[in-house]
């Protein structure tokens, strides 16, 4: 039983840190190296939490008093890991102008 509590707490901690980094990626993207590092950390944390959540489910543990909540959250963690790796090394995936480029263009016009 103690193992299940440790797995649950670790998976929630990893997800929380990944979420915090995901929210902070705009600030971290000012430096190319910090953006790449943050994305790699997000991907690693999401994969680790997905493994832990699947393990929690198959060991019979519960997440927020639900036996069935761990697997969907594990799938969600995998999806976030895949999407976090899309913009690696500063490549523009969306093809849109970001707010930093808009501010830079406005300064150049003035």
Helix (H, G, I), strand (E, B) or coil at 33: helix
pLDDT of residue 51: 93
DSSP designation for 89: G
pLDDT of residue 95: 54
Over the chain (110 residues), the average pLDDT of each successive run of 10 is 86 89 79 81 91 88 81 88 69 59 80
pLDDT of residue 67: 81
pLDDT of residue 73: 87
Q: What is the 3-state secondary structure (H, E, C) of the chain?
A: CHHHHHHHHHHHHHHHHHHHHHHCHHHHCCCHHHHHHHHHHHHHHHHHHHHHHHHHHHCCCCECCECCCHHHHHHHHHHHHHHHCCCHHHCCCCCCCCHHHHHHHHHHHC
pLDDT of residue 110: 76
The whole model's pTM is what?
0.70
pLDDT of residue 49: 93
């Amino acid at each position: 039983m103690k193992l299940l509590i440790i797995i649950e707490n670790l998976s929630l901690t990893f997800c929380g840190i990944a979420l915090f980094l995901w929210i902070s990626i705009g600030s971290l993207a000012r430096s190319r190296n910090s953006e790449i590092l943050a994305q790699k950390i997000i991907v690693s944390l999401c994969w680790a939490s997905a493994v832990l959540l699947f393990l929690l489910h198959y060991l019979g543990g519960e997440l927020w008093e639900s036996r069935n909540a761990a697997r969907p959250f594990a799938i969600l963690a995998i999806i976030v890991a895949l999407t976090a790796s899309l913009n690696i090394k500063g490549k523009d995936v969306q093809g849109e102008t970001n707010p930093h480029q808009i501010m830079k263009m406005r300064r150049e016009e003035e």
